Chain A
Amino acid sequence: MKRFIGFVKKEFYHIFRDKRSLFILFGMPIAQILLFGFAITNEINNVDIAVLDHSKDATTEEIINKISASKYFTITQFISHEDNIETAFKKGKIKAVINFEKDFSKNLIKERKASLQILTDATDPNTANSITNYINAILQNYQQAENKDIEVAYQIIPQTRMVYNPELKSVFMFVPGVMTIILMLVSAMMTSISITREKELGTMEILLVSPLKPFQVIIGKVVPYIFLSVVNAMVIVLLSITIFKMPIQGSLFLLGAESVLFIITSLALGILISTIAQTQQAAMMISLMGLMLPVILLSGFIFPITSMPIPLQVISNIIPAKWFIIIIKGIMLKGVGISYLWKESLILIAMTLFFISLSIKKYKIRLE
């Protein structure tokens, strides 16, 4: 045990003396959260839209007022006929047109449903998508308010469900993704680099020719990073709560436990990488190309999995980050408990066990 503690102590010396790794450890989470929070947001503000109101009744007026009252939209134009929609778009000022059907109010009362059309300028698909979502959310709000005291609910069509992020803040969507990336990067890349560094320096030879057991070397390498990653996860959650006022809906304990599980998954991956890579550079390349890119592209962090081609959807299943993102989104945004997340958690546990057993199998007690 004394040997082991001595080893862990040495690892901490390495970490705290290397300015670069310290920066990656603590500078990156903060930088990333702030970057995603402030700069790269899908939020929209004061977007110009137009309205084509075929009914001009009390309900449509109310909805129009609601929309123009929000800070997201400014209604700059009222169009009188379908034919004018195209010209309105062509002028380039407006990003969306809301088209109410005829007898909107009447339909709503009589048939309990009415429809409206949202036309968006899809030259900027992200913004278009956001606009649709925002308008839908406003409609949703309106309906909920109206339906409160009515027995049979109204239905406004189209209807998009946006119940999990009612404040429509994109930073809330990014926090789980950023947290995933950082935990993955810190755990997998840093461990694989620190193991390959010993190979490069030749100190691995001395460690092998010593009474230290291989698993002691591995666990000794991993312990400091479990600790640091947990600290990192806490920093991210704290930043999200304090700076972005993000509410954590679910249990903090569950969030912590799931994070530790994912950290261990990533560390196991890091060890696996270090059994393949001989140099620090190779370890870094494999971590970046093999872990970071899939996490960013295929985990559902930036691009929704449902809109990917089928082969990529299938591939995304083998990416641990995908499951972790589902889990923490569930906990942070939906507030669900383990009864909803046990499947994803089991998948992560299975993956972790697989990686660990594979790296133990691949870890060499000799140099070959």
Chain B
Amino acid sequence: MGISLSNISKSYKKVKAVQDISFEVKPGELFGLIGPDGAGKTTLFRILTTLLTPDQGTATVTDLDVVKDYKSIRKSVGYMPGRFSLYQDLTIEENLTFFATIFGTTIEENYDLIEDIYVQIEPFKKRRAGKLSGGMKQKLALSCALIHKPKVLFLDEPTTGVDPVSRKEFWEMLKRLQKKGITILVSTPYMDEAALCDRIALIQDGSILDIDSPEKIVEKFPKNIFNVKANNMYKLIQELQSYQHSYSVYPFGEFVHYTDQRDAFEIKDLQSHLKNQGLDNIIIEKTQPNIEDAFMELAK
């Protein structure tokens, strides 16, 4: 009753959007597609929501085939496309009523499902969607996608361009929806949101890099990773990159994430090397890899 893809490929003219993608989302799972713009996330969503047909491969949503049974799928899924696709000139209430009507239901009938989302925007229900903040648009779009009580929810980059507070609230809402038995497939370019999913697929350039739980993906990271800091960031990066034993060097906020080729790496070796190159205030400390480190390692 979940989602299943096997060997899905899709090209636009000469550009291969997705290649040979296979994965399964279990019923009731919160599954994340994590990858940058242009990775093929939206193409996958459109194939699963029956908006595009795959060139190769098969896919099912709630055991229904996305090509043959597209009419049945369209009745039972909720879809929130990448941009908040709302009618800007209609009020919150009118948008919601409209989507309820075209799915043959009413707001009252499924109010319990959207209640804790909708109450936050209900005070503004006479306001037009075009005049809402990003966070409020996002909540309205989610309410609209939920109004017909879908079994599966497809959310394509629901948090892009939304402030951190709304992003946090949004993920809390998803967790609650999941408890109500809805299967959720969500995509995001934010690596830090990956940790909030049950399982994730890391995707880049139309191919899947890895599929697993966020914890396992991080655990699989093959190297010890170090935070390095010094008085001159640019010089530090240059020196680390030219260091003969360096394996990877990535700026990471105020630090540089460094991994070494050698298993027997000693912090003080690097410390003295950097000092010899004229850097000061050097800090080197072991740290934990995160999803983004794993992503870069896999994409390398």
Contact = CB atoms under 8 A, between A and B. Distances in A.
A–B contact via C-beta, under 8 angstroms: yes
B79 A209 contact: yes
Interface string B231-273: 0000000000000000000000000000000000000000000
B159 to A, nearest CB: 16
Of listed A9, A13, A209, A210, residue having the most chain B CB within 10 A: A209
A368 B104 contact: no
Interface stretch (B93-101, B132-140, B172-180): B93-101
Contacts of A367: 46, 51-52
A243 interface: no
Contacts of A18: 89
Interface stretch (B70-78, B119-127, B185-193, B200-208): B70-78
A6 B51 contact: no
Interface residues of B, number: 31
Contact of A209 (B74, B83, B104): B74
A212 B148 CA distance: 13
B128 to A, nearest CB: 8
A299 B90 CA distance: 39
Contacts of B75: 211
Interface string B93-117: 0100111011110000000000000
Interface in A1-49: 2-3, 5-7, 9-10, 13-14, 17-18
B102 A211 contact: yes
B86 A203 contact: yes
B240 to A, nearest CB: 44
Chain A contact residues (Cβ within 8 angstroms of B): what range? 20 to 34
A5 B79 CA distance: 23
B198 to A, nearest CB: 24
Contacts of A17: 89
Nearest to A2: B101
Interface in A112-171: none
B49 A6 contact: no
B53 interface: yes
B87 A205 contact: no
22 contacts: A2-B101, A3-B102, A6-B98, A6-B102, A9-B98, A10-B98, A13-B90, A201-B87, A202-B81, A203-B86, A205-B46, A205-B51, A205-B79, A205-B85, A206-B85, A209-B49, A209-B51, A209-B79, A210-B103, A211-B74, A365-B70, A367-B46
* Nearest 3 CB-CB pairings of A with B: A6-B101, A202-B85, A367-B51
Given A6-B102, A205-B79, 18 more contacts: A3-B101, A3-B103, A3-B104, A6-B101, A7-B98, A7-B101, A10-B90, A14-B87, A201-B83, A202-B81, A202-B85, A205-B51, A206-B81, A206-B85, A210-B102, A210-B103, A212-B102, A368-B53
Interface of B: 46, 49-53, 70-71, 74-75, 77, 79, 81-83, 85-90, 94, 97-99, 101-104, 144-145
